[in-house]
Amino acid sequence: MTVTVLVGAQWGDEGKGKLVDLLAEQAELVVRYQGGNNAGHTIVRGGETFAFHLVPSGVLHEGTLCALANGVVIDPQVLRREVEGLDEAGIDVRDRLRISPQAHLIMPYHVALDEAREMAAIAGERRGAPANAIGKDSAVIGTTRRGIGPCYADKTARRGVRVEDLFDTEHLRTRISAALGETNVLLAHYGHEGFSVDAVFDQIVAHAEFFRPFVTDVGALIERIAERGGNVLLEGAQGTLLDIDHGTYPFVTSSSPVAGGACTGAGIGPGRIDRVIGVAKAYATRVGAGPFPTELFDHVGDQLVDRGGEFGTTTGRRRRCGWIDLVALRRAAQVNGLTELAITKLDVLTGFEQIGLADTYDVGEATETAWPTLTADVLRATANVEYLPGWTEDIDAARSLDDLPEAAKVLLRRIQDSVGVPVTFVGTGQDREAVITLDLTPVAR
């Protein structure tokens, strides 16, 4: 009988998919409210691995409705492939999928532009072009090259193509023509061939009948289910520190993964939301460029990559790894209004002699406990890492706090106390069964 928002509290890949799969058992509806197929949400069940990029991670529960709300950007080809893949796996989502007519479509020229910009930035860096405005890092964002940024840019510029445009062919042609007028100039700037209106129109209109049966007012659907006492789960993609406003701009994605984004991205009011669960790894990772104060550049970072299997679900890129950053997590708690914390991948820390965490940053001469006001200060911040003792016992089979070694409990308590939000889930392995579920009473002392 609740509406729950589940958000990434770090830089994405926190293990949101697994938590959504777990919570979806009790949910009538799971809704994606932002992002697109830049997301990669992995679920492991009894040794079988599923990775979803667009379809909500609740899809494995046969009775659960799955919706892509207005805030999502949809690459039609990718969605079709995902639905067909589910068909092949014997999971019927066609009766359960709902799509907002106001969701925007990722067009082939968005993908081309994303790719062209990244390539140009990389080439510029090789030539020694000046670094971007903030000065310390490069102009390369390291996007997933899925067309996300250009699609959201067109949305905001009122030049986008929405799902509902598929059903009015003349209007669709006009929309594509208007967008391509400018986009082809940009593509030419990057030395990329332009797109013809006819070719894009033919490619896109071919998806109209695929989309038609799914079109639903998703906000109204959430309202109906919540009104009659059903559970709704809003699944965030990416993470708080990749948020277009609250993340480490410009090294961010182009949408609002934070809990507030669930309101605009799904069409519900803030008063509808009962729980906000922030998901964080027991350490930290980041894919792509941008500040990461607790990043490890030594063999300990390599060990986290190896033991945590830290390679991207979407692009296969090696994830940068570091210790858990409590300054950043406090920021995530504040920005999202977290009511609960889920700490994942605690098992990955087994075997480390000591476990680092950062509770403060040094910024110039000052020691700060709060997230720096200026992004430039996040870039120059040095995390003050302190160490807690590690443990050697395998914790994969732990299903209650009592099954954990004392050192693991000390770490969880420290995270909870420092962030000021109760830890209600602890991930102890990749499989969906490998989790400790706690109530809202703080981790026992």
Known catalytic residues are 13, 41
Angle in degrees, 0-180, between the axes of helices 259-266 and 326-336, rounded to the nearest 10: 40
Contact segment (CB under 6 A) with ligand IMO among 37-45, 54-62, 183-191, 407-415 equals 37-45
Map residues 345-384 to x or -, x wherever contact with ligand GDP holds by CB under 6 A: x-xx------------------------------------
Instruction: Round to whole Å and give the CA distance between 252 and 256.
Output: 10
Residue number with the smallest Cβ distance to ligand IMO:
288
Please tell me whether residue 118 binds Mg ion under the rule CB under 5 A: no
Residue 143's binding partner out of ligand IMO, Mg ion, ligand GDP, none, with CB under 5 to 8 Å set by partner kind: ligand IMO
Helices (H), 127-282: 148-156, 169-189, 197-205, 208-211, 218-227, 259-266
Number of residues that bind ligand IMO (CB under 6 A): 24
Q: Are strands 435-437 and 232-235 parallel, antiparallel or unpaired?
A: unpaired
Please tell me whether residue 287 binds ligand IMO under the rule CB under 6 A: yes
Please tell me whether residue 408 binds ligand IMO under the rule CB under 6 A: no
Q: Which of 15, 40, 76, 356 binds ligand IMO (CB under 6 A)?
A: 40
Q: Which of 32, 61, 110, 146 binds ligand IMO (CB under 6 A)?
A: 146
Q: Which of 430, 436, 438, 443 binds ligand GDP (CB under 6 A)?
A: 430
Please tell me whether residue 242 binds ligand IMO under the rule CB under 6 A: yes
The minimum distance between CB 111 and ligand IMO, in angstroms, equals 10
Please tell me whether residue 286 binds ligand GDP under the rule CB under 6 A: no
In three-state secondary structure terms, 302 is: helix
Q: What are phi and psi of 359, to 5 degrees?
A: -110, -15
Residue closer to ligand GDP, measured from CB, 40 or 265: 40
Determine contact, residues 249/46, Cβ cutoff 8 Å. Answer: no
HSE of 30, CA atoms in CB hemisphere, 13 A: 29
If we measure between CA atoms, which residue out of 401, 368, 301, 421 comes closest to residue 9?
A: 421
If we measure between CA atoms, which residue out of 392, 416, 414 comes closest to residue 404?
A: 392
Instruction: Round to whole Å and give the CA distance between 93 and 61.
Output: 10
Contact segment (CB under 6 A) with ligand GDP among 86-94, 215-223, 323-331, 423-431 equals 423-431
- Per-residue H/E/C for 376-421: HHHHHCEEEEEEEECCCCCCCCCCCHHHCCHHHHHHHHHHHHHHCC
Interface residues with ligand IMO (CB under 6 A)? 8, 11-13, 38-41, 141-144, 146, 148-149, 237-239, 242, 253-254, 287-288, 313
